[in-house]
Amino acid sequence: MIFFRPKEILSQECTALFEAFENSDKLGECRLKIKGSSADVYLLSYDLSRPEVGEGLLKSAYNYAANRGAYIGTLSAKDSGIAHTYLNFKEEDGLLTNDIPSLLAGHCNCSPDI
């Protein structure tokens, strides 16, 4: 089973860090910055052959942000693989974004064809 652990950072650059673990093996991480009602995942790192890890990291981060008053989620991380396709992002001005409830409503099976 994969576990997603948050670590609050609360610095100018980062609000929280999320790490994915399976047993004691680290599978990936993401970094989140919350500013007002917006939450941006600006770093997403995972084995691209395991998109479920990336999806879980994104959902963990946006859930954390929503619980702290954020409503809009963006993904500015480069090279995020296909994990973002499993959430309901819209592209606006070259940025992947949507309201967090819509992002979290995406399916969890890593199959965008369903």
70: number of Cβ within 10 Å: 22
pLDDT of residue 111: 47
pLDDT of residue 75: 96
- pLDDT-based confidence at 109, cuts 50/70/90? low
Q: How far apart are CA 99 and CA 11, in angstroms?
A: 24
pLDDT of residue 113: 46
Strands 25-35 and 2-8: what pairing? Answer: unpaired
**Average pLDDT rounded to a whole number, residues 72-100:** 91
Residue 105 has which token pair? 């409503």
pLDDT of residue 106: 63
Residue 42 has pLDDT above 50, yes or no: yes
Residue 29 has pLDDT above 80, yes or no: yes
